């Protein structure tokens, strides 16, 4: 899931100014992150109206990053959309750019910050899991991703700075290399770690269009 958080309301307000605005949310990730579901769209609408900003309409797209679906769903809102020059999008950066593509003549305002690709660990708690490197090496590390979970993306062992199993960059997170070591030790396969990982081929992460 793509993890997002809503921007500070005062920053959103500054971008909108006093002109009428149309609001867009997303039924998928932004709904689960509570950054752009129906509840959040309606809450923003109420706050904007309290601040005397006209809201011409709103919709929660299913999902915002689906170009064809957006076209279909937004047809019903052509009147409301024509009444505003600005669209506030509460979705991930992907959804925001899809709206930008659909309405190049309007000002698209990003209402969220997109943080990372992660799991839902529990209600309202998310855990960073993948940097979309395009060349997955999870199999080499029994399902741990050092590319993502080590702030230095160390591929061939720890940096040496961890303390009590925590990362030296952020003591709130586990050193993923400590995790890898402990699991491999338990499984009696520490020798596997003598294998040297080649530098990652980041060109694979540059693929920007795929047809299936
Ligand atoms: S190795 Fe790459 S693709 Fe696999 S989980 Fe890590 S960042 Fe994602
Ligand atoms: S302490 Fe561990 S997780 Fe943190 S930067 Fe060093 S190797 Fe990476």
Residue spans of beta strands (DSSP E) within 44-178: 55-61, 86-90, 107-110, 112-122, 125-130
The total domain count for the chain is 2
Q: Are strands 21-26 and 55-61 parallel, antiparallel or unpaired?
A: parallel
Is the pLDDT at 210 greater than 90? The verdict is: no
Residue-averaged pLDDT of the chain: 96
pLDDT of residue 167: 98
Of the pLDDT bands very low, low, confident and very high (cuts 50, 70, 90), residue 71 is very high
The answer to whether 109 and 48 have CB atoms below 8 angstroms apart is no
Does residue 108 sit in the same domain as residue 167? no
Tell me the pTM: 0.92
Structural domain boundaries, residue 44:
2-115
pLDDT of residue 194: 94
Is the pLDDT at 133 greater than 90? The verdict is: yes
Is the pLDDT at 199 greater than 90? The verdict is: yes
pLDDT of residue 209: 86
- Gap between the Cα atoms of 51 and 13, Å rounded: 9
How far is the centre of ligand 1, averaged over its atoms, from the C-alpha of 209 (Å)? 18
Residue 73 in any domain: the answer is yes
pLDDT of residue 47: 98
Give the largest Cα separation in the chain, rounded: 66
Is the pLDDT at 68 greater than 90? The verdict is: yes
117 lines ligand 1 (CB under 6 A): no
Does residue 83 sit in the same domain as residue 141? no
- Gap between the Cα atoms of 30 and 143, Å rounded: 26
- Gap between the Cα atoms of 175 and 55, Å rounded: 47
How far is the centre of ligand 2, averaged over its atoms, from the C-alpha of 1 (Å)? 24
pLDDT of residue 109: 98
- Gap between the Cα atoms of 109 and 7, Å rounded: 11
List pLDDT tens digits, range 77-96: 999 999 999 999 999 999 99
pLDDT of residue 207: 87
Does residue 94 sit in the same domain as residue 157? no
Residue 203 in any domain: the answer is no
Tokens matching residue 52: 């005397």
Residue 86 in any domain: the answer is yes
What ligand has the least distance to the C-alpha of 200?
1
pLDDT of residue 196: 96
Q: Are strands 86-90 and 125-130 parallel, antiparallel or unpaired?
A: unpaired
Residue 211 in any domain: the answer is no
How far is the centre of ligand 2, averaged over its atoms, from the C-alpha of 115 (Å)? 20
Does residue 69 sit in the same domain as residue 157? no
- Gap between the Cα atoms of 114 and 6, Å rounded: 9
How far is the centre of ligand 1, averaged over its atoms, from the C-alpha of 10 (Å)? 36
Lining residues, ligand 2, CB within 6 Å: 150-152, 154, 158-159, 161-162, 167-169, 175-177
Does residue 100 sit in the same domain as residue 143? no
Count CA atoms closer than 13 A to 16's CA, side-chain side. Answer: 30
Residue 44 in any domain: the answer is yes
The answer to whether 18 and 53 have CB atoms below 8 angstroms apart is yes
Does residue 22 sit in the same domain as residue 92? yes
Is the pLDDT at 186 greater than 90? The verdict is: yes
Of the pLDDT bands very low, low, confident and very high (cuts 50, 70, 90), residue 3 is very high
* CATH code of the domain containing 52: 3.40.50.2300
Does residue 139 sit in the same domain as residue 87? no
pLDDT of residue 179: 98
């Amino acid at each position: 899931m793509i993890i997002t958080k809503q921007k500070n309301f005062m920053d959103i307000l500054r971008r909108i100014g006093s002109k009428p605005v149309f609001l867009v949310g997303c039924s998928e990730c932004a709904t689960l992150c509570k950054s752009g579901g129906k509840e959040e769209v309606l809450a923003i609408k109420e706050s904007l109206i309290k601040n005397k900003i006209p809201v011409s309409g709103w919709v929660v797209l299913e999902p915002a990053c689906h170009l064809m679906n957006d076209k279909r769903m937004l047809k019903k809102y052509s009147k409301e959309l024509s009444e505003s020059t600005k669209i506030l999008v509460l979705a991930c950066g992907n959804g925001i750019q899809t709206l930008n593509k659909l309405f190049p003549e309007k000002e698209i305002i990003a209402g969220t910050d997109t943080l990372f690709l992660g799991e839902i660990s529990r209600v309202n708690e998310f855990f960073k899991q993948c940097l979309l490197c395009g060349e997955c090496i999870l199999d080499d590390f029994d399902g741990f991703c050092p590319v993502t979970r080590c702030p230095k993306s160390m591929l061939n062992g720890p940096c040496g700075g961890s303390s009590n199993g925590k990362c030296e960059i952020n003591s709130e997170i586990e050193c993923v290399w400590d995790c890898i070591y402990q699991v491999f030790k338990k499984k009696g396969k520490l020798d596997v770690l003598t294998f040297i990982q080649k530098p990652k081929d980041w060109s694979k992460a540059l693929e920007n269009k795929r047809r299936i």
